[in-house]
């Protein structure tokens, strides 16, 4: 039967991203980027409470190794969580935390993106 072979195809993208996140031999930046993508693709708009929890883990993990870029990304993701759940004041708070860190590291593209998120709330 043709359909019985379908489940044997390769990993899904989510499985691949999760695999990078849990692989301690990967560089932290690779792990953090994969985990952030995993949160966005699998949870942020479908199960936002889980996304919030995972973004907190991402933030704590990035802070533990002083990865300011990934701390800022995690704060931005948390801000999106609050925007998605109609908690605009909290969203702006986390977006501003993200921008503060991005200013420290000179991430102009990240700042522009996060300012766009703030603009969406005010719109």
The alpha carbon of residue 54 and the mean position of all alpha carbons in its chain are separated, in whole angstroms, by 8
The answer, yes or no, to whether residue 4 has pLDDT greater than 90, is no
In this prediction the pTM is 0.87
d(CA 75, CA 26): 23
- For the chain, report the end-to-end CA distance as a whole number of angstroms: 53
Higher-confidence position of 13 and 50: 50
Read off the DSSP letter of residue 71.
H
Q: Which two tokens stand for residue 5?
A: 């072979």
What average pLDDT is seen over the chain? 90
DSSP tag of 9: S
Which of 4 and 80 is assigned the larger pLDDT?
Answer: 80
CA atoms within 13 A on the CB side of 94: 23
In the three-class reduction of DSSP (H, G, I as helix; E, B as strand; rest coil), residue 97 is classed as helix
Stronger pLDDT, 14 or 69, i.e. the higher one: 69
Q: What is the dihedral of CA 30, 81, 57, 74, to 10 degrees?
A: 40
């Amino acid at each position: 039967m043709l359909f019985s072979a379908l489940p044997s195809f390769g990993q899904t993208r989510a499985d691949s991203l999760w695999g990078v996140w849990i692989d301690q031999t990967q560089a932290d930046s690779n792990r953090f980027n994969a985990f952030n993508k995993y949160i966005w693709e699998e949870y942020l708009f479908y199960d936002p409470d889980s996304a919030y929890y995972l973004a907190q883990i991402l933030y704590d993990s990035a802070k533990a190794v002083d990865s300011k870029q990934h701390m800022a990304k995690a704060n931005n993701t948390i801000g999106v969580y609050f925007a998605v759940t109609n908690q605009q004041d909290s969203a702006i708070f986390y977006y501003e935390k993200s921008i503060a860190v991005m200013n420290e590291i000179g991430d102009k593209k990240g700042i522009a993106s996060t300012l766009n998120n703030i603009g969406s709330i005010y719109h």
